[in-house]
Amino acid sequence: MYMQNQLLVFAGSTRQQSFNRKLAQATAAIARDAGAQVTLLELSDFNIPLYNADLEAQGTPADVIRLKEILWRHPAWVICSPEYNGSYTALLKNTIDWTSSPAQGHPDWHDGTKPFRGKVVGMLSASPGALGGLRSQSHLAPLLINLECWLAPKAWALGSAANAFDEAGTLVQPGHRDRVRAVVDQVLWASERLTAGTP
């Protein structure tokens, strides 16, 4: 049972029928069944404009501050990253750019790396193709490391995603559920130990 640390799960897509949103929802359900406390985040719930330093100079948007707070409160994350043109989405990059940027004059968020530093992150992806969005993970990993996240060694890419979910959004194959559970377990295991300050 994982009761100490909360797990944040989100997808780098807002598309209604996104396979990665489905994967995020399935991941959240699997983690809850494992006893974790889970927050399933939808990026569509945040009004975050395209990053622009001139816009930022007028004041960091309120929803960026709200998202910074959510990221900071959760020591363990799972990100489901779609693959666009062999990389992660512009939405995910824009979200990270805003939430990692210092909020000038703000007492809590003048340190841009604060929402990311020390977080344990597991990467998942889904795609209709055979590689399952694996290339998006290869680009996302160094970005997260640069922001001082700890990356779980286990990751998984779901290929042929069009046939992977039932009508309720559950992963059909037990083996697929096991792969997701393995990532969740490793993220929570590492996060609990880092939070406790034990080796």
Phi then psi for residue 152, to 5 deg, are -65, 135
CATH architecture of 6-196: 3-Layer(aba) Sandwich (3.40)
Domain ranges of the chain: 6-196
- Determine contact, residues 27/77, Cβ cutoff 8 Å: no
Mutual angle of helices 174-196 and 19-33, in 10-degree steps: 70
- pLDDT tens, residue order, the chain (199 aa): 444 569 999 999 999 999 999 999 999 999 999 999 999 999 999 999 999 999 999 999 999 999 999 999 999 999 999 999 999 999 999 999 999 999 998 999 999 999 999 999 999 999 999 999 999 999 999 999 999 999 999 999 999 999 999 999 999 999 999 999 999 999 999 999 998 854 4
What tens digit of pLDDT does each residue of 63-76 get?
Answer: 999 999 999 999 99
Helical H segments across 44-157, by residue range: 53-57, 62-73, 90-99, 134-146
